[in-house]
Structure 1
Amino acid sequence: MFVNEVCGGSALGDPLGGCCITPNGYALLLTKLLGFAQGRIVMALEGGYNLRSIANSVCACAKVLLGDKFTFNTPEMQPFESTWRVIQAVRNELKTCWPVLSSKLPENVSLRIKPAPSELYASDSESDSEDVDELLGTVASVSVIEATGVAISEHLSKMKLDDDSLAVKTNSSCSAAEQHPVDSVKVHNNASVVLTKKISDLSLEWRSDLSKTDVWYASFGSNMWRPRFLCYIQGGKAEGMNIPCCGSRDTSSPKGTVWKTVPHRLLFGRSSTPCWGTGGVAFLNPEINYNEKSYVCMYKITLEQFNDILFQENRLVLEDGKDGNTVYPDSPLIGSSEIKFISTNRAVHLEPIKDSWYSNVLYLGNEDEVPILTMTCPASDIERYKSGELRLAPPSETYAATLIKGLVEGKQMDADGAASYINAAAARAL
């Protein structure tokens, strides 16, 4: 649940703040936040001395919460420098949690240093009767944005936010992830806010959108063996696994399978997992090294399915003990905007699950114009392995046998060659 705080000190005319946000500005922000939080909003009032300013700001927000339709009309006024500066600072602070905020704001925006005298409210409650005349229509209704400026208001009105970025407490027993559980996850995507849809529709909108986008999932560990990989898609467990997978919402088989090698070091780390027992599991060093060659089996799946695999790898899927239903996070970790970001930056460390073992999504290029993605540890973990803080450990016999079956059945090498490949990777120091 989100708390929408109407900060009176930031409102136009209040002597405390410099942001000069009009009631219509609050209405626009709340309209966006409603979609962001899927309607789960608690509104609170904080601070402020100008009673008329506070009343109009709260009234505008209340109208939005009660269902008044909000429309954007091009304003005639320019944004205040203080407002623009605060927005830039907030976006910069939060962009690691919500990558959609990494997009650039308009440049060369004409800014005002302070409001005109006619825009200021009196802060003395005895002067409240004069405030209406001094508003100059900026609080007439919530259907028009006025003192926020063309560039900033248009950008806000068109801004795409995640359907849901709530913290989801998880501790799954049904996941076949090769790691320990994490405590929470904030989830993202770039789906547009659509307030007219039901909340249940909003929570599923991202799945429909991402099911139309294909990616190659590059597996370098146990998922190289197709029967084991299909557990992440269709559920269940394969030979050697101690616990079953929940599977993906979309259980469709991969549209294609391709093998290739990548210039990244294969390593085995950690000491035990719920799925494979004692022994290390596979990671790729996110740093490119053209002296290294690791085998990957690539499955062509949808971006929706990739997110479900990412959820399971990081133990973010719950099994409801009451009715036996499987509960997935409401929104994806990787949306279309993250795909664009990662294709430029080669990797994205998912800040909301930064302590998870497979929280780093790597971009390995394209195959037939479709992006190749994999998931591994962050670069910071590699440094911890080098320092000895984290333990490098050879894989268990069962886990190694699964990798060997993947390489052999994928016709990449014979059993002896596959065993040598794995043993060499496990024996070398970083």
Structure 2
Amino acid sequence: MSTSTPPRPAHVWYASYGSNMYRGRFLNYLQGGRPAGAARSYPGCSDCAPPGADTPIRWAGRLHFATRSPTWGGGVAFADEAERPGQEILGRAYLITTEQFDQVVHFENSGTIAAEAPRVPLNEVIRRGRTRCGTGIYAVLCHLGDREDVPVVTFTSEFTSAAALRGDEYAVRGGQRFLVQTHPPSPAYARMIGGGLAETFGMESEAQADYIHGCPGGDEWDRQELVAALQRC
């Protein structure tokens, strides 16, 4: 007896947790443009329609900041899904098409042309819970469950926060191999996350700073200097 392959979902809830929590920054991925404080512009997706909806999301794990981003000049956010009592990742889930999701994953892993984005293995990650696609630093897909019968999916690195703190593993970006180490986020990148926390959870700058400062890499900031950086326009 043959078994048919299930159809690929038409939409996903993309669970963002770093700078993409800030809606204006995420729209640069979908519609093109350069985020404030970034060194890179984005061409936009083939379908530049805005998300159909968005919603706050939390899941077990720990946010951490690692590598040195050529776009932001400091550490960028990754989701370590190892469960730790009392710790959770705060995020914002956007309802987008699977084609848009393919292209966002492509852009996050240094791709520059929307039409060249490969199709991510959504059915595989839904079935297995976690799978790898490609070789970029955000090439690990994670299925966080379903919302209204639509899969909730995020992407992160293969390395953990513990590995970044040890500084004994390597990753690949743009075909170049480099040592993974914990690094603090730049002021501009921290403000993007702070803006997303404000929009999504109504958090003021003090609470934003507490969340970022409570993460590996974020704790390399002096807390009061971080508060001041988050308050700066």
1:399 aligned onto 2:189: yes
1:305 aligned onto 2:100: yes
Query: How many residues are aligned here?
Result: 207
Aligned-partner residue type, residue 387 of structure 1: R
Question: Which position in structure 1 is the counterpart of 2:72?
Answer: 276
TM-score (norm 2): 0.80
1:224 aligned onto 2:21: yes
**C-alpha distance 366-291 of structure 1, shift in aligned 2 (>3 A):** same
What is the 5 A alignment of 1:45-84?
A: none
Equivalent residue in structure 2 for 1:409, among 199, 208, 212: 199
Question: Which position in structure 2 is the counterpart of 1:248?
Answer: 45
TM-score (norm 1): 0.45
Equivalent residue in structure 2 for 1:341, among 101, 124, 129: 124
Contact in 2 for aligned 1:286/1:362 (Cα 8 Å) = no
Runs of 4+ in 1 over 6 A off after TM superposition: none
What is the 5 A alignment of 1:133-212?
A: none
Question: Matched residues in 2 for 1:234 and 1:349: separation?
Answer: 26
The Cα shift of 1:217 comes to: 0.5
The Cα shift of 1:412 comes to: 3.3
Contact in 2 for aligned 1:266/1:294 (Cα 8 Å) = yes
Structure 1, 339-348 or 309-318: larger mean CA deviation? 339-348
Deviations 1:62-85 (CA, angstroms, capped at 9, x unpaired): xxxxxxxxxxxxxxxxxxxxxxxx
Q: Name structure 1 gaps, 5 residues minimum.
A: 1-105, 107-154, 161-189, 191-208, 319-326
Question: Matched residues in 2 for 1:358 and 1:260: separation?
Answer: 19
**C-alpha distance 349-397 of structure 1, shift in aligned 2 (>3 A):** same
Question: Matched residues in 2 for 1:288 and 1:365: separation?
Answer: 16
Question: Which position in structure 2 is the counterpart of 1:365?
Answer: 145
Question: Which position in structure 1 is the counterpart of 2:230?
Answer: none
Q: Secondary structure at the match of 1:273?
A: coil
Contact in 2 for aligned 1:222/1:399 (Cα 8 Å) = yes
Percent of pairs with identical residues = 29
Question: Matched residues in 2 for 1:261 and 1:394: separation?
Answer: 22
**C-alpha distance 424-409 of structure 1, shift in aligned 2 (>3 A):** same
Q: Which has the larger radius of gyration?
A: 1
Larger relative CO (CA 8 A, sep 6+): 1 or 2? 2
Question: Matched residues in 2 for 1:315 and 1:217: separation?
Answer: 18
The Cα shift of 1:220 comes to: 0.4
Aligned-partner residue type, residue 427 of structure 1: D
The Cα shift of 1:290 comes to: 5.0
**C-alpha distance 312-291 of structure 1, shift in aligned 2 (>3 A):** same
Q: Name structure 2 gaps, 5 residues minimum.
A: 169-179, 221-233
Question: Matched residues in 2 for 1:306 and 1:288: separation?
Answer: 26
Q: More strand by proportion, 1 or 2?
A: 2
The Cα shift of 1:251 comes to: 0.3
Aligned-partner residue type, residue 329 of structure 1: E
1:427 aligned onto 2:207: no
The Cα shift of 1:424 comes to: 1.3
